[in-house]
Amino acid sequence: MLVRALPPRSRVLDVGCGDGALVERLAAHGLDAVGVDPNAPARPRLIRERVEDASSIGRFDAVCSVMALHHSDLERVLAKIVDLLRPGGRLFVSEFSWEGYDERAAAWVAAHGGSRTVEDWRAEHDDLHTGAVVQAALGMAFETLSLAPRPYLARMLGERRLEREEQRLIDDGALPGFAWWYCGAPSP
């Protein structure tokens, strides 16, 4: 999604980049990619600190965050992202509303060899921001350009071949679409 949305050589920051794999993929596609994460390995293009504490990293045509905002100090992180974006810049987010995991999701996971009960799932995630909280914070700092539900359970199971089936069930209302892609522009 991100590669198709940006012109070649666009400068992109991956917030919460983890091991830097996305930064490497973006760079391989011709983007000037940089990652920031306090636990990033010591590698080129990766900055080992929290984005809200990063200084002198410049400005970006786009910022992305994949499954990281639910861990963050949303107010500080989103304010920093606004400051880091060049005029006309965009924020791309892949997140989840973990609170949406329900009995339908648990049954689908079990049918495909997994064993995540609703109780186990909620106990594992209850210290994170909910998707509703993340979306509300995004709405305060950014104008929403797009927000679309996406498959998550197939990836969780390590079965990417099941993503089409999961998306069809989400579209039909048979499964919760609790993962989502978001694109926004800083609010005027």
Give 21-64 as a DSSP string: HHHHHHHHTT-EEEEE-TT--S-TTEE-S-GGG--S---EEEEE
- CB atoms under 10 Å from CB of 164, counted, come to 11
Residue 131's CATH number: 3.40.50.150
The answer to whether the beta carbons of residues 31 and 9 sit under 8 Å apart is yes
Q: Report d(CA 38, CA 2) in Å as an integer.
A: 23
Tell me the pTM.
Answer: 0.93
Reading the chain (188 residues) residue by residue, the pLDDT tens digits are: 788 899 999 999 999 999 999 999 999 999 999 999 999 999 999 999 999 999 889 999 999 999 999 999 999 999 999 999 999 999 999 999 999 999 999 999 999 998 889 999 999 999 999 999 999 999 999 999 999 999 999 999 999 999 999 999 999 999 998 899 999 999 98
pLDDT at res. 188: 83
* C-alpha 75, offset from chain centre: 16
What DSSP state is assigned to residue 72? Answer: S
Tokens (6 digits) for 164: 């089409």
State both tokens at 136: 């509300």
Number of domains in the chain: 1
Per the document, the length of the chain is 188
DSSP bridge pairs for 91: 63, 184
Which residue range forms the structural domain that includes residue 11? 2-186
What pLDDT is attached to residue 158? 93
Of the candidates 124, 125, 105, the residue with the CA atom closest to the CA atom of residue 114: 105
